[in-house]
Structure 1
Amino acid sequence: MTKTFLTLDGVSCILPDGRALFADLHETFDERATGLVGRNGTGKSVLAQILAGRREPTLGRCVRKGRIHYLAQRVAEDADESVAALAGVNHVLAALDRIASGNSDPNDFDTVGEHWDMHDRLRDALNSVALEHVDIHAKVSALSGGEAMRVALLGARLNDADYLILDEPSNHLDGVSRAALRQWLRAWHGGLLVVSHDRELLGDMQRIVELSPSGLRSYGGNFAFYAETRRNERDAAQRTLDASRIERRRGEKALREQRERQTRRQARGRRDASDANQAPILLGGQKNRSESSAGRLRQRQDALREALSAKVSQAALGVEHNVAPALLVPSAERVTRKKVAALEHVVLPFVRGATREIDLVLAGGQRLGVTGPNGSGKSVLMQVLAGRLAPLSGEVHVSVRSAWLDQRLSTLDPMLPLIDQMRDVATSESEDSLRLRLALIGLEADKIRVPTGLLSGGERLKGALLHALIAEPPTPLLLLDEPGNHLDIASLDALETMLQHYEGTLVVVSHDEVFLDRLDLTDRLSPTADGWRMQPW
């Protein structure tokens, strides 16, 4: 018998300005591994918090059964908290320490429960994910993004959860850690809800649930089934719209021909009546009957025209719901020179081991994917290429303009609205043009005027991408560090399409092999025990 862990009963979330983020949601979540998908800004993370009991809905209720473990999207917001706190077991360790010092408070014994070996369990868990060097009392600020995510994921194992709610768990994980996460989740025996845009991870799910302005909709099957179904729906919606427009054009043509025939009949009737020299009273009666008939015809035609237009409008709503965001391909100066950037005997700061030294030449039009485990120096390398970090030694030569997008989106001021920051870098574009660009990536007027820091992770990333891409003058060198993190699936598709048509030199860091495989890359740069290795893609 299927066991239900979570039930949404008419759940709504109303924002402070009165807008409904989502409304009247009804859904159940059982032991099936479920992926929650949807556009950036639709409220997936808010819904996950409601399901986990971290937030109350404005209306409706959420019924929970069993022990729920929740992993937030931003796992290391408090840089001063400890590794044990990030793993969610600091309260147990603190109670154990107080008991060991002679404290006999019953609350401490209740907190510990059956977990008298939690120190050893945490240590063993860290060792199992190659974090044996991490001190459980160390601050989170000492960890990399990937290390912090791995520690947070350990909390699910250590807290004996019945149901897991994981919000973007693969963000910041390298390829090895992503594979380990998928392997662990495949072996998980409890219930599971994953909020994610990771297409490989979603491929392991047993069903996909999509959150949209229309509500929640469940798709039986994994991501491949969901993607095929949505593709068929988009095609069907477009066909319906095309057919309804053709029907309206034909209907309008028929109405015009009908009016023209009526007009000709009326004119012929007036001529015939005049030629017959009829009495004025009879002529007046004929005129009234003709006008009455014409009036009824206009009413019928107006009703038919409204019906045809309503059919088109309804079909257009279906297409609008399915429309994908669009990132316009940025202008790029076509660089024909053989060398656009070079690192000569460069020693990278903050990097240990063989990958701290690098020699690299980038040619015009080259498309380079940088892969490898966390901590190997990929982001540091990008910052050196972007001129944001100086090497410890060696020479850096970049002979063209570059645009850089880092993982922390530091090119955006979180206190300022997006539209203002766009104007600063694209001075020749009108505000209407900038608004159109923002609308095409899914940011409407109500989002572009609020401080950027209040936007969702995906909305901020799309804004930062656009900010980097529209800067004037156009850039022939594009440096992207994990650009797919936080993007919804439709936006990932749009980004892939845009980058496929980018004519400048591209360097992109990513752990998402599906994403990288779609960019038509020419080369791969990856770390080895002997240093950096360049090879054809």
Structure 2
Amino acid sequence: MPARTPSSPAVVLRDLTFSWPDGGTPVAGVSGTFGAGRTGLVGDNGTGKSTLLRLVAGHLTPTAGGVRVAGTVAYVPQRLTLDTGATVADLLGVRAPLDAVRAITGGDVRPELFDVVGDDWDVEERAVAALASAGLPATPGALDRTVGTLSGGEAVLTAVTGVRLGRADVALLDEPTNNLDAAARERLAELVRTWRGALVVVSHDRALLELVDATAELRAGSLTTHGGPYSAYEAALAVQQEAAQRAVRDAEQTWRRERRDRIRTAERIAHSQRQGRTDTANARYVKAVVNDRRNSAEKSQGDRRGAALAAEQAARDAVEAAQRAVRDDDRIVVDLPDPGVPAGRRIAVLGGVDGRDVVVAGPARVALTGANGVGKTTLLERLLAGPSPAGELRTDRVGYLPQRLDALDDDATVLDAVRSGAPHVAPGELRGRLARFLVRGDQVDRPVATLSGGERFRVHLARLLLADPPAQLLVLDEPTNNLDLASTDRLVEALSAYRGALLVVSHDGAFLDRVGVDLHLEVTPDGVVER
């Protein structure tokens, strides 16, 4: 589908700033626009993308500056799966008219209920039809199911379907491909391809970012928009960075030349001063003439020295300015200690189809796959809870990264959350280790509730990987959710070198290929089966 040309801006940001009560400022002085078409919003974890969407949606109030939106806004947050008590009707945005219709048909004739319904008497039928068209469960009572009974992928796709159903003028999607299986990703892609109106989507999913009309990057408090999909942005960035590197080399060459010229000027001035002292000693002129010439020479030499120093400083300033245009972003550093798992040792036994158990032995890498809603996360939770038809663990040194990152106490500080997994490690040492996950300084003392999705993930990952003693089995449920592309690369490197057993649920085929999976298991309602 050809890219659409955005017309007037749908969202205008003017010097937008937001600060948390603890002083953290994820968004500072951001100005820019989002067009009336489809825009992909990218940037490293922690740059403020999720906070920016919440400000546009009106869920947060700016500390300074402002937001102007043309029309109504619908927002799908990154952490919607944490609200396990919400219903499908809530996710679809039809709870109020649905409740009003049900109350009226039940005999309640209060006028305000009719105001809520308006012309939306068929809301239940339309909502169920929308679920069915998205490939979601549309059985009787489907609208009253809670998020806690849905898989992560079902919850996300339901919320996105609700945005489409509500026909908002501006739609904001924060990491919508999290937890989606291949079929659901294709349905989401079709929704994006056929979207009418303004759409801003935060994502690290390259395939989804190829469907947008423009790519906006949030970096260092600045919003920059590039025409075209993510691949066009990457190509433009590569050209820009090549030019920036070349500018640095040219500026450094100019600086070296100006420094040599300044040294030569200093040498000539020094030589001239020595010669001047000799001439003064041998002078036959009257003292006044000698002093006059000496004063004139000293002024000229001072001017030359000052000009040389100014030229060198200007060249140095040019080098620093050129270097600022070259990207040197920090990346997380993940080092996994050797957990001491002998080759072939049984780590876990999974319940298979027809009683054929599947053995996970160290240091095997096992992938669990299957459609959304089939029970992959449920299988993991039953396995971790103790012996059951789902299987049994043969080690108590297990690290678990859940799909819903709700295991962290929102009221705890980052340091306390990580210390709960390594209580014997000194706080100072933990701070040093957290720095390798790009959690530094005052961030360590921030409440978990103030973290972005990517920051929350890094803290959860740090808690898991910094455990003391180290885990012999890592159980990861959709580990690339919320993780930027560079951080995913670092995680792949760490897992590739990990000497323990790995059990991972993921719909990211490229990630599984890079980790080097030894065994693919498909989860079915009856158990697991080897693919």
- TM-score, normalised on structure 1? 0.83
The offset of 1:6, in angstroms, is 1.7
Find the partner of 1:481 among 477, 480, 484. Answer: 477
Distance 1:530 1:295, change over 3 A: same
Task: Trace 1:44-63 onto structure 2 (pairs within 5 A).
Answer: 44-63=49-68
Distance 1:522 1:249, change over 3 A: farther
Deviations 1:327-375 (A, max 9, x none): 224143286842244334x44xxxxx949974123343x4443332234
Distance 1:459 1:220, change over 3 A: same
Given residue 331 of structure 2, which amino acid in structure 1 is its aligned partner? A
Distance 1:507 1:302, change over 3 A: farther
Distance 1:170 1:239, change over 3 A: same
The offset of 1:283, in angstroms, is 5.5
Structure 1 counterpart of 2:372: 374
Alpha carbons 1:332, 1:504 under 8 Å: kept: no
In structure 1, C-alpha distance between the alignment counterparts of 2:382 and 2:84, rounded to whole Å: 25
Alpha carbons 2:360, 2:366 under 8 Å: kept: no
The offset of 1:34, in angstroms, is 1.7
Distance 1:442 1:397, change over 3 A: closer
Which secondary structure state, in structure 2, belongs to the residue aligned with residue 219 of structure 1?
strand
Which secondary structure state, in structure 1, belongs to the residue aligned with residue 232 of structure 2?
helix
Alpha carbons 1:89, 1:158 under 8 Å: kept: no
Find the partner of 2:207 among 187, 197, 200. Answer: 200
The offset of 1:178, in angstroms, is 1.8
The offset of 1:21, in angstroms, is 1.4
Distance 1:378 1:2, change over 3 A: closer
Distance 1:511 1:83, change over 3 A: same
Deviates more, 1:90-99 or 1:490-499: 490-499
The offset of 1:326, in angstroms, is 1.6
Could you tell me which runs of 5 or more consecutive residues in structure 1 were left unpaired when the two chains were aligned.
348-352
Find the partner of 1:255 among 253, 262, 272. Answer: 262
Given residue 459 of structure 2, which amino acid in structure 1 is its aligned partner? G
Deviations 1:136-167 (A, max 9, x none): 23433333323322332332243243442222
The offset of 1:19, in angstroms, is 4.6
Structure 1 counterpart of 2:448: 452
Structure 2 counterpart of 1:137: 144
The offset of 1:92, in angstroms, is 0.8
Distance 1:2 1:139, change over 3 A: closer
Alpha carbons 1:11, 1:57 under 8 Å: kept: no
Structure 1 counterpart of 2:402: 406
Distance 1:395 1:529, change over 3 A: closer
Deviations 1:15-63 (A, max 9, x none): 2549571325231421x22212223333323332343344454455544
Deviates more, 1:455-464 or 1:302-311: 302-311
Alpha carbons 1:10, 1:24 under 8 Å: kept: yes
Structure 2 counterpart of 1:350: none
Given residue 88 of structure 1, which amino acid in structure 2 is its aligned partner? G
The offset of 1:89, in angstroms, is 0.7
Identity %: 34
Deviates more, 1:417-426 or 1:116-125: 417-426
In structure 2, C-alpha distance between the alignment counterparts of 1:355 and 1:175, rounded to whole Å: 27
Given residue 116 of structure 1, which amino acid in structure 2 is its aligned partner? W
Which secondary structure state, in structure 2, belongs to the residue aligned with residue 92 of structure 1?
helix
In structure 2, C-alpha distance between the alignment counterparts of 1:259 and 1:356, rounded to whole Å: 88
Which secondary structure state, in structure 2, belongs to the residue aligned with residue 361 of structure 1?
strand
The offset of 1:315, in angstroms, is 2.0
Please give the root-mean-square deviation of Cα atoms over the aligned residues, in Å.
3.6
Given residue 126 of structure 1, which amino acid in structure 2 is its aligned partner? L
Find the partner of 1:339 among 337, 344, 355. Answer: 344
Deviations 1:104-152 (A, max 9, x none): 4444333323322222222333344231355423433333323322332
The offset of 1:271, in angstroms, is 3.4
Given residue 22 of structure 1, which amino acid in structure 2 is its aligned partner? A
Segments ≥4 residues shifted beyond 6 Å: 426-430
In structure 1, C-alpha distance between the alignment counterparts of 2:412 and 2:102, rounded to whole Å: 46
Distance 1:367 1:192, change over 3 A: same
Number of corresponding residues: 521
In structure 2, C-alpha distance between the alignment counterparts of 1:449 and 1:3, rounded to whole Å: 44
The offset of 1:8, in angstroms, is 0.7
Find the partner of 2:129 among 109, 124, 128. Answer: 124
The offset of 1:300, in angstroms, is 1.8
In structure 1, C-alpha distance between the alignment counterparts of 2:463 and 2:243, rounded to whole Å: 34
Matched, 1:526 2:522: yes
Which secondary structure state, in structure 2, belongs to the residue aligned with residue 237 of structure 1?
helix
Structure 1 counterpart of 2:31: 25
Deviations 1:299-342 (A, max 9, x none): 223322321222122123222xx333322241432868422443
Distance 1:527 1:422, change over 3 A: closer
Alpha carbons 2:408, 2:448 under 8 Å: kept: yes
